[in-house]
Structure formats: C-alpha cells, structure tokens
Amino acid sequence: MKDSLFKILFLIVIAFNIESYINIFLSKFYIVIPLSFLTYSYFAYKSSIGFSSSSSFLFGLFVDLISGTFIGLNALVYSISTYIINSYRYVFRLFSYLQISIFFGIISTVYIGITHLFINLANYSYLTLSISFGINTLLSLLISVIRVYRPTFYKSRKL
C-alpha cells in the first residue's frame, strides 16, 4: 500500500515530539535515538520505488523547520541517506533482519554524528555515538522481530 505524504509528515512530527521527550532522559546515559529520522528511513526503505531526491530534500527542510536546527542540515542528511537506501534497495532482499538492523544502526549513528557536529560541537562525544549505535541497532532489530513474531489473534483464511 502506498503511504500518503500527509501520513508520513504526521508520523514524522509525532516521532519528533516523542524524541524530544525521551532524549532528555536518555542523554544522561549517552544515548540518542533519532526517532524522526528512523521513521523517515523506514518509509524510504518501505517505499516500492524509493523516494526521489526532491522529496527527500523537502522532507529534510520540513524537519529543519520544526526542529529549529540549521536550515539544510536535515535536508543534507536525508538526501544522502535516501540515496544510500535507494541504491541498496535490491541488495536488502538478500540481507537478514540482523544485517538490515545494523545498516539502520549505522545510518542513524551517521545522522547523530553529522547533526552533533553542528548543534553539539562543544560536547561532541564518541561515547554517545558508540552507545547510540548499539541501542539503535537493537531498537531496529526489536521492531523487525516484533513484526514477524507478534502474537496473532486473527488468522487470515486467504491462500
């Protein structure tokens, strides 16, 4: 099913607000979870034809505006990550869940690294990056595993 633009924007805004709340507590443990970026990446990954360069740029600009960071920062990272996701679209089919989760862990760490270069240079921490990599990989794995092994209350009769 094709996801509407409004749905993606709405979920990014929701994810951004949740991220703003949880990261206050998580930052004490050197953890950053970029939920809005992961939400966008999920839709870019899920899309059958992949997001175009213009749409990724505009999504990034939108996030720049709502998050109040430097204009162009998210647009840059979103464009690069969309290109990488699009390029590996067919390769992902050969990957296991663990490998895809590691991929999302890596791109979210790159996202944290690049954004913190601009917004948190005074307290730039490799410890935060390393721990966040582990946590984001684990989170991605958890989400993919839940999708497969969730309890089923209704069995489809379709063949």
Partner 1 sequence: MAKHAPNTSIFPFIIYVLLASSLIYLDYSFSYFSKTKNIYNSSILSTKYLISNFVFEPVISIPSSLKSKSQLIEQNKSLKTQLNKEQVAKFIISNNEGFFLKEDSLNNFIENNTSSNKVVFSNLARFNTNDYFCCDSHKMFIKTLSGQNDTLLHSPVINSKGLLGQVISNKNNIQEVMLLSDTRHSIPIFSNNFHCNARGLGRPLAIGCEYSVLIWDNPIEVGQEIYSSGLGGIYPNGVLLGKVKNIVDRGNAQREIIFELTADPLEERLFAIMVKK
Q: Under the criterion CB under 8 A, does residue 45 sit at the interface with partner 1?
A: no
Binding partner 1 by CB under 8 A: which of 2, 4, 29, 68?
68
- Give me the amino acid identity at 114: I
Cα–Cα–Cα angle for 5, 110, 1, rounded to 5 degrees: 25
| Alpha carbons 89 and 142: distance in angstroms, whole number | 21
Binding partner 1 by CB under 8 A: which of 42, 45, 57, 59?
57
Q: Under the criterion CB under 8 A, does residue 71 sit at the interface with partner 1?
A: yes
CA 121 from chain centre, in angstroms, equals: 22
Assign residue 115 a region (left: φ > 0; alpha: ψ between -120 and 50; beta: otherwise). alpha
Using CB under 8 A, which of the segments 33-41, 67-75, 98-106, 150-158 binds partner 1? 67-75
Task: Using CB under 8 A, list all residues that contact partner 1.
Answer: 19-21, 23-24, 27-28, 32, 49-54, 56-57, 60, 65, 68, 70-73, 75-76, 79-80, 82-83, 86-90, 116, 118-123
